[in-house]
Amino acid sequence: MTYDTAIIGAGINGCATAYFLTQGGEKVALIDREGIAAGGSGAAGAFVSPKFSKGGPLKTLMEESYLFSLDFYERRFPELIRIAPLIHFAKYGDENEKVRAFKETTDLPMLSAMPEAPMTEETKAFEHVLLARSGLVNAQGVCARLAEASDFILDDINIIKYDDGVWSVGTIRAKRVVLATGAYRPVVAMPHIALRAVWGHRVDIKTSTPLPCHLHQYVSIAATGANGEGAIGATHDVHYDPQTATEPYDVEAGRAELLAKAAKTVRLEHVEVLKDYTGLRSGSNDYYPLVGKVADAEASLLAAPGLAKGAKTDAASLVYHPGLYMINGTGGYGFVMGPLLARTLAESLLEGKAVPEALDPTRFLHRWAKRVGK
Ligand SMILES: Cc1cc2nc3c(=O)[nH]c(=O)nc-3n(C[C@H](O)[C@H](O)[C@H](O)COP(=O)(O)OP(=O)(O)OC[C@H]3O[C@@H](n4cnc5c(N)ncnc54)[C@H](O)[C@@H]3O)c2cc1C
């Protein structure tokens, strides 16, 4: 059998893409070397909140993604999301202005009064946003449900080959391939695309202090459930990468860092760490995700040598790998952006709708071509 689509990588981006393509009637193979939500997605909290920045197109994309994903998870998997208000605090004096600007430019619903929570005096002195609704999703549960209608294949893909209109991907064949490999070594050379891997640690906890809302400041602290269970996440470590590290990751130190950061925001009593999670996020240089067709950088440069001198070329003069697509670069917001991005990709594949230019992975091609042309 030849699949319509093979997706490599079963994190939130691969699983959400699989969901929308199977909803559209496609036969999908979802391939991962470790399992569903084994990479960065398995480590995520996963908090669903907007980006608390000043205005701009990225803030707009994040707000749209946040509203879409909150509705998406709530409608489809209400048992896998904990909805609660969110208080977002500035971290230092300089951020107060940014938080004020966010409040002035957002249309998102706000609470009129601060929920009762034992915040520290230092934190209360900072500017804050009282968002009426935000979510904490069960990352592994959501990914597994999104993947249900696909065939899951456990395989480590080192190379893919295109021949006669069909891709060979490990043991299966597919008309097209979507790369959703997160911060891991890419299966196809993409020298023009640099993704930054950022290691992170988060924990599930139990506490005797009831917390009625999610809190964001130095880290995110989840509203507690019926038995006092919550979550704290996450650290950002740009230096540690398990793919190249010579020393094992220090779990104790990461846990201590998380608890210390949470304690600067809120006084939680009798905190017990139930489970540690660690993983890599992958972010792009301009903080926008990458969604769409994958260009063959070397072949594009041969076809349009003017690229090396900075000539502006349109998409038609670039060379693309046939039937090869990607979805990546969601940084610390994969569970916020993944569903909307996956729907965007699925609509482009199934209905021919254009992917917004800001997400197009070839946006990095011109800069790369100028660099190699020097
Ligand atoms: C600690 C931590 C906390 C986070 N908290 C949040 C949060 O609160 N909210 C939020 O929205 N986001 C959060 N994120 C970010 C979010 O998890 C990422 O944006 C998201 O996981 C990216 O998903 P992905 O599908 O692109 O990559 P991944 O989830 O990393 O999936 C990639 C998959 O590809 C597989 N793979 C790679 N190469 C191959 C190959 N050659 N063959 C087969 N399989 C392959 C890997 O095994 C992996 O399973 C957090 C991330 C971390 C690390």
For 15, 126, 128, 256, 289, the CA distances from 283, given in Å and listed in that order, are: 18, 28, 26, 25, 7
Cα–Cα distance for residue pair 296/314, rounded to 1 Å = 14
Lowest-confidence segment of 251-265, 286-300, 312-326 by average pLDDT = 312-326
For the chain, the first-to-last Cα distance in angstroms comes to 47
Confidence of residue 276 (pLDDT cuts 50, 70, 90): very high
Residue 286 has phi, psi (to 5 degrees) of -105, 10
Confidence of residue 196 (pLDDT cuts 50, 70, 90): very high
Instruction: Compute the distance from residue 41 Cα to the ligand 1 centre, in Å.
Output: 4
| Residue 44: closest CA among 282, 311, 360 | 282
**Among 181, 185, 251, 291, which is best to mutate for testing ligand 1, by the most ligand atoms less than 8 A from CB?**
181
Taking residues 251-273, report their average pLDDT.
97
Instruction: Compute the distance from residue 12 Cα to the ligand 1 centre, in Å.
Output: 7
pLDDT tens digits, one per residue of 301-327: 999 999 998 888 888 889 999 999 999
DSSP state of 112: S
CA 43: distance to chain centroid? 11
Taking residues 168-175, report their average pLDDT.
98
Cα–Cα distance for residue pair 83/213, rounded to 1 Å = 9
Looking at residue 330, its pLDDT comes to: 97
Nearest atom of ligand 1 to the alpha carbon of 139: 17
- Phi/psi region, residue 352 (left: phi>0; alpha: psi -120 to 50; beta: rest), is left
Parallel, antiparallel or unpaired: strands 272-284 and 214-216: unpaired
Taking residues 45-49, report their average pLDDT.
94
- Asked whether 69 lines ligand 1 (CB < 6 A), one says no
Lowest-confidence segment of 106-115, 168-177, 264-273 by average pLDDT = 106-115
Neighbours of 4 (CB within 10 A): 17
Looking at residue 315, its pLDDT comes to: 81
| Residue 339: closest CA among 143, 136, 108, 59 | 143
The contacts of residue 352 (CB under 8 Å, 6+ apart) are none
- Asked whether 17 lines ligand 1 (CB < 6 A), one says no
- Asked whether 38 lines ligand 1 (CB < 6 A), one says yes
Nearest atom of ligand 1 to the alpha carbon of 233: 3
Percent of the chain exceeding pLDDT 90 equals 90
Q: Are 49 and 216 in contact (CB under 8 A)?
A: yes
The number of residues making up the chain comes to 374
Instruction: Compute the distance from residue 184 Cα to the ligand 1 centre, in Å.
Output: 9
Taking residues 190-199, report their average pLDDT.
94
For ligand 1, atom 5: residue with the closest CA: 44
- Asked whether 219 lines ligand 1 (CB < 6 A), one says no
- Asked whether 152 lines ligand 1 (CB < 6 A), one says no
Looking at residue 255, its pLDDT comes to: 97
For 16, 43, 147, 155, 251, the CA distances from 144, given in Å and listed in that order, are: 10, 14, 5, 17, 26
Taking residues 222-244, report their average pLDDT.
94
Amino acid at 83: I
Give me the DSSP letters along 252-302.
Answer: HHHHHHHHHHHHHHB--SS-EEEEEEEEEEEEETTS--EEEEEE-HHHHHH
Looking at residue 45, its pLDDT comes to: 86
| Residue 320: closest CA among 361, 350, 282, 354 | 361
Amino acid at 136: L
Instruction: Compute the distance from residue 31 Cα to the ligand 1 centre, in Å.
Output: 14
- Asked whether 235 lines ligand 1 (CB < 6 A), one says no
Looking at residue 350, its pLDDT comes to: 98
For ligand 1, atom 33: residue with the closest CA: 9
- Asked whether 33 lines ligand 1 (CB < 6 A), one says yes
Taking residues 120-127, report their average pLDDT.
96
Where do runs of H (alpha helix) occur along the chain?
12-23, 40-43, 57-76, 93-105, 121-124, 139-146, 251-265, 297-303, 334-351, 365-373
Please, is 253 exposed, middle or buried when counting C-beta atoms within 10 Å of its C-beta (0-12, 13-18, 19+)?
A: exposed
The contacts of residue 78 (CB under 8 Å, 6+ apart) are none
Q: Is the pLDDT of residue 373 over 90?
A: no
**Domains assigned to the chain:** 2-39+142-194+285-373 (3.50.50.60), 85-135+199-279 (3.30.9.10)
**Among 86, 136, 146, 184, which is best to mutate for testing ligand 1, by the most ligand atoms less than 8 A from CB?**
184
**Among 67, 216, 335, which is best to mutate for testing ligand 1, by the most ligand atoms less than 8 A from CB?**
335
Instruction: Compute the distance from residue 17 Cα to the ligand 1 centre, in Å.
Output: 14
